[in-house]
Amino acid sequence: MARPIRVEFAGAVYHVMARGNERRAIYRDDEDRRRFMDTVGEMAERFGIRVHGYCLMPNHYHLIVETPRGNLSQAVGWLQVTYTVRFNRRHRRSGHLFQGRFKAQLVEADEYAQWLVEYIHLNPVRPRRKSEPIAPERAAELDRYAWSSHRDYAGLRAKPVNWLCLEWRRYWGRNAGEARQHYRQRMSEAFAHGTVESPWEKLRGGLVLGGEKLWERASELVRRKSGSEEKAWSRCGDQAQARGRLDRRLLTETDDRVKIWAQVRLAGHRPTELARAYGYRDASGIAYVVRRVEQKARTDRQLAHKLGQLKDEIYSLQS
């Protein structure tokens, strides 16, 4: 299994997630959940971690953390090992509890804090198929859910756990009362509208939820590492930039056949991804279009010039 890429620096903010081995439950009852919460608190104190949000699900967990010391791997690695030992002792079992190493995405808090916290908190009531609407009647169920920081942000818990950092409430209001009110309003809108856009649609390179500055910093830190995973990620990052340039360039292109060719040949999109978007039954229709465009370009100098220009623009060093 490939080693997850870690980008660590002082003051970084992350969304951290890990699943149970073979997607099995990592808590068997509320006592396990309490022990996990206690272990998170120990991690926060031991490693100086600020926990801005959390949500415990049956077979995985979500944490939103800030690392003033730049020690994410050390802290979360300790959390998972320690909780696994405690879980195994209690249930008289042995072996792995979590499915490989945890995942962590860098987050730009000022831009994405509200969106990420709200999305994570909705996990207990969101349908298994994320495209389906959230049932409005499940709002009361969310307010009763004890194993996330939703009740703390909403002001529904008498006493938050002492390791939860509620500084991020400032993103919803100037003071605690205003923040709680605005937060509850935003969550109510999620149930009223029935759907919530996923922040992961904005994830860059599978690693960064943020703007250009954070993306460039993460990319530079990854490039300094020499592992095979980092090299592969850098190549994917270059392709992601090419796709972004192509998307902007094709806004002015009126010929769908040229768009299809460019997305397949220059951006590496799979024909199956494009078939539905362009109204084809399956990938064979997209493949046929690509072949026809290339055949026509052999005799059509104007088309050949256009395809050549696209190549030069997308793969030039200028963005």
Domain assignments of the chain as residue spans, ordered by start: 12-208, 243-314
Give the pairing of strands 103-107 and 208-209. Answer: parallel
Distances in Å between the Cα of 8 and the Cα atoms of 3, 67, 71, 225 are 15, 8, 7, 12
What does the alpha-carbon distance between residue 102 and residue 21 come to, in Å, rounded to a whole number?
11
- Phi, psi (rounded to 5 degrees) for 119: -65, -45
Where b means 16+ CB within 10 Å and e means fewer, 106-134 reads bbbbeebbbbbbbbbbbbbbbeeeeeeeb
pLDDT at 17: 96
Q: How many CB atoms lie within 10 A of CB 75?
A: 19
What does the alpha-carbon distance between residue 152 and residue 187 come to, in Å, rounded to a whole number?
13
Q: What angle do CA 226, 228, 230 make, to 5 degrees?
A: 65
Q: Which residues contact 53 (CB under 8 A, 6 or more apart)?
A: 62, 63, 64, 116, 117, 120, 121, 148, 149, 153, 164, 168
Q: Please list the residues that pair with 164 across neighbouring strands.
A: 51
Distances in Å between the Cα of 119 and the Cα atoms of 33, 60, 80, 167 are 21, 15, 23, 18
Q: How many CB atoms lie within 10 A of CB 155?
A: 16
> What homologous superfamily does CATH list for 12-208?
Transposase IS200-like (3.30.70.1290)
List, edge to edge, every strand of the sheet that includes 50-57.
50-57, 60-67, 12-19, 103-107, 208-209
Residues in the chain where the model's pLDDT stays below 50:
1, 228-236, 317-319
pLDDT at 144: 96
- Contact (Cβ atoms closer than 8 angstroms) between residue 168 and residue 182: no
Q: Which residues contact 22 (CB under 8 A, 6 or more apart)?
A: 99
- Phi, psi (rounded to 5 degrees) for 104: -145, 125
